[in-house]
Every structure is written in structure tokens, then in C-alpha cells.
Amino acid sequence: MYLLKRLSVGMFSTLLLLLTQTVSAQEYPQGPLTMVIPFAPGGSTDIIGRLIADRLSQALKQPVVVENRSGAGGNIGALAVSKAKPDGRTLLFGTTGILSINEFIYPNPGYKVGQDLVPVAYVSSISNVLIVNKSLPVESVADLIRLAKQKPGKLSFGSSGSGASTHLSGELFKVMAGVDITHIPYKGSSQALIDMMGGQIDMVFDNAPSAVPLLQSGKVKALAVTSLQPLIALPEVPTMDQAGVKGYESLSWSGVVVTGGTPAAIIDRLNREVNIILKNPEVQNKFIELGARATGGSAADFAAHIETERTKWGKIVREANIQAQ
């Protein structure tokens, strides 16, 4: 009898929790949402994050206010979301670096992915583009490698921060091409691009969404893309593999994340809305224009992807002895 009582209490508690989550999901969201983009305005994370925020606002019938919180490789924005109220109204537009790399670079980022921050939906997969200052006397990757070997340590590349995909793309290039080029970290890709166009640095391995408009304007030169497949948006630009660095591949990606403890029903609702957005033909065409690919899938799919990338990039960070700057 005592055991039955305990079972009944346990079943009642479970039923009450499920009922509460269902009600909260039906009422969600009660008020505006905030989408924290952990990098400066103008970069690819900002461009795609704002696109998703705008569409989410329409779907949820509530404002989704974008808040740029840059610094520490995205850790400042990520930490803020990790400490927010777990009601699904504070979202993080997370990236490769924040979700799979920073823990290996920063001694104490202040949050743990999977606990303090939990995956909602995988949004995009992005190729980086190796772009150089127009005055740099190179027209191909082979030219760049030749110049870098003639001037070891003299050429420089900028990134959106230590540990970001734009940084690791350069580190991978250094190893696979056998060259010595100096890394200059920034708090976002927009300032790195400005300095590259101004001649303060020589090149950037930039995310395609922010690189493509610059290339179309003729302000910079593209030498290669970092995916194994050519980009529809840049059909004339070879892949790094085609350009002679065989087997080279480095992709960036992004997705929506919420505070740990957010009810599963709310995560499911957000995941469903994001997947609907990503299947929209207008959104897919916009991604193609930007040089990105819409991904999607369940929250569990996104969690599995994060873990795979964590294993891959953790190894590279340790071997290259990359540290926060």
C-alpha cells in the first residue's frame, strides 16, 4: 500500500509537470523576446541572426529584439544568456566557437554547453572565404603561399576572435600549406574587414554571408572558399582543395540556444518555428545569396552536431596550442 501511494504521488507529480509545460508552451511567449548575438553588428552571425529574429517575431507574434553583446570570443553574450531566466524569452544565436571551441581556449568561460546553455535548433552551415587586400600582389592561393614563404611571419590574417572559425580556418591553412602568417584577433569580423581593406592586415578567412557583399562590390579579392564544394553565390571562386591545399575543409555554423532549465515544451515550440522558417523558399534563397546553407533538424540533432564538432576542434586547438588573447 505504501509503495502504491509513493507511485501515485510520483505519477501525479510527473503529470502535473507535463501539464504545466503544455500550458506554458501554449501561452508562450507572454511578452517580447531578446535574441543575443554575441558579436559586433555587420558580421555573418549578425546578418543571419537578425534574419531569424525577424522571422521568429512574425511567427510568435511578439517583438524579438536583437542585442549585440560582443567580446571574449562570444563568451560575454553567451554568459549573459546562461544566467537569464529560463523562460525561453532570452535566446542566444550561438556559433561554432561558443558551442564547441571556447571551452578549450578559455580557462573558465563561465558556462557549460548542455547544462547552462541548451540547444534548440541548428540554423546554418557556412563556408568561409579567404579574401585579401586588393593591393596584395597575389591572384591565387599558390601565389599567397609563395609570398608567405618568402616573408615568414610578415603577412597577417584577421579573425572575429581567438577560437572563432575565422581564426581556426587560418590556423588550419598554416598547418596544411606550411606557412607562417600572424593572427590578429578582433571583437568581430566587421572591424577585421575594415582593417583588411585599409591595409592594416593582409587577409581574412571571413564567413561567406559578410564576405559575399564585399566581393560583389569589388572592394576585395577572393582566393578560395573553405568548403569542399564550390559556393553557388561565388561560382568562380575555387575551393581550397581545388586551389592546391588538398583535403582542406573548415566550416562555420550557427544555431539557436536557450538558458538551461527552459521547459522542454518551449524548446520544442521554438525548434518547430525555426524549422518552419528554414523551409521557407525566400529564406533558403537568401541563405544561398549569402553563401550559407539552411540546416534545421531536432534539438537532439543539434546537440549531436555540437558534440561532433567539439571533438574535432578540441583536438586542433590542443595541437596548435591556441590560447585566448
Q: pLDDT tens digit string along 45-80?
A: 899 999 999 999 999 999 999 999 998 889 999 999
Q: pLDDT tens digit string along 65-118?
A: 999 999 888 999 999 999 999 999 999 999 998 999 999 999 889 999 999 999
Q: What is the mean pLDDT of residues 288-304?
A: 93
- For residues 318 and 20, the model is more confident at 318
Which amino acid appears at position 168 of this protein?
L
Mean pLDDT of the residues in the chain = 90
Residue spans per domain, the chain: 32-126+251-320, 127-225
The answer on pLDDT for 162 being more than 90 is: no
In the prediction, which pLDDT does 94 show? Answer: 97
Q: Do domains 32-126+251-320 and 127-225 have the same CATH topology?
A: yes
Instruction: Please tell me the distance from the alpha carbon of residue 270 to that of residue 123, in angstroms, as a whole number.
Output: 12
Question: What's the pTM value of the predicted model, to 2 decimals?
Answer: 0.79
Q: Are 259 and 77 in contact (CB under 8 A)?
A: no
- For residues 12 and 242, the model is more confident at 242
- Would you say domain 127-225 falls under CATH 3.40.630.10? no
Q: pLDDT tens digit string along 271-289?
A: 999 999 999 999 999 998 8
The answer on pLDDT for 18 being more than 70 is: no
The answer on pLDDT for 23 being more than 50 is: no
Q: pLDDT tens digit string along 125-144?
A: 999 999 999 999 999 999 99
Domain 32-126+251-320 class in CATH: alpha beta
Confidence of residue 184 (pLDDT cuts 50, 70, 90): very high
